[in-house]
Structure 1
């Protein structure tokens, strides 16, 4: 078990199988030492996490949705690394999309749910550049979607 897998276990996180794409794209592309992971939508064991921030979802609910996206990103990363998370060198960048009401402005706090998990699991290797943007809607009505760029060995 890698240090990162042990840390996931300490946090009580069991990674799901890497989610299958919902349309005509691949879940990730590895080019050299860079892994580009497609946007992962907010879902948990009960299904999709849907709603609009600032309307029917509060910031804490949005953070939980972003954390769920981060878990899916880590599952995709594990698949891209052939099952070996110890190959991670750095989380390079996350881009978070928030399904937000027009007057909602706390997008960064929502996407902290994903960013915080990356640092909790990967330590300094989890520190990354980031964008957090609001959208009028997201696929399937989900509350959050997050994509990522990672460097591996």
Structure 2
């Protein structure tokens, strides 16, 4: 089954690939790797802001991370023209806007990791880092960058 067909079957709609918010490009391809710039948590209502361990619960943080994942996949489709060219999700690096004593960063970033496996199957399993940050751009709850291998 094609990736596009899997998205349709699962009822997953990708957003438009977000435009860069500063002086960078949304992705760079080097050889067979595509590096997608950090995608911040947002949805059709705008930015998803908050601080884990204070104004936001883990479940809401994981939902915000899933939205970052949707934006990553949208950027990937813009870069490749077809998600069927994706061979593997290589690595995710997730940043969680959280209080100093918050320790559930992995549970938050699972929102994106679970999406990658849901969309790409076994090729969605990846290496990962999940770290805290005292703040993120525009007060967003989560930012995630990714590396993908393509044909």
In the alignment, the residues of structure 2 paired with residue 42 and residue 13 of structure 1 have an alpha-carbon distance, to the nearest angstrom, of 17
In the alignment, the residues of structure 2 paired with residue 142 and residue 36 of structure 1 have an alpha-carbon distance, to the nearest angstrom, of 21
Aligned counterpart, 2:95: 97
Aligned counterpart, 2:19: 20
Aligned with 1:131 (options 121, 129, 132): 129
**Alpha-carbon deviation of 1:107?**
0.2
**Alpha-carbon deviation of 1:17?**
1.5
Cα distance per residue 1:3-59 (max 9 Å; x no partner): 111111122221122100000000000011000000000001111000000101000
Q: What is the root-mean-square deviation in Å for CA atoms of aligned residues? A: 0.8
In the alignment, the residues of structure 2 paired with residue 38 and residue 91 of structure 1 have an alpha-carbon distance, to the nearest angstrom, of 14
Q: Which residues of structure 2 form unaligned runs of 5+?
A: none
1:109 aligns with 2:107: yes
In the alignment, the residues of structure 2 paired with residue 133 and residue 114 of structure 1 have an alpha-carbon distance, to the nearest angstrom, of 14
Q: TM-score, normalised by structure 2?
A: 0.98
Cα distance per residue 1:35-88 (max 9 Å; x no partner): 00000000011110000001010000000000000000000000110x211000
In the alignment, the residues of structure 1 paired with residue 10 and residue 68 of structure 2 have an alpha-carbon distance, to the nearest angstrom, of 16
In the alignment, the residues of structure 1 paired with residue 11 and residue 43 of structure 2 have an alpha-carbon distance, to the nearest angstrom, of 14
Where does 1:4-43 land on structure 2 (aligned, <5 Å)? 4-43=3-42
Aligned counterpart, 2:49: 50
Q: Which residues of structure 1 form unaligned runs of 5+?
A: none
Aligned residues: 151
In the alignment, the residues of structure 2 paired with residue 39 and residue 80 of structure 1 have an alpha-carbon distance, to the nearest angstrom, of 15
Aligned counterpart, 1:144: 142
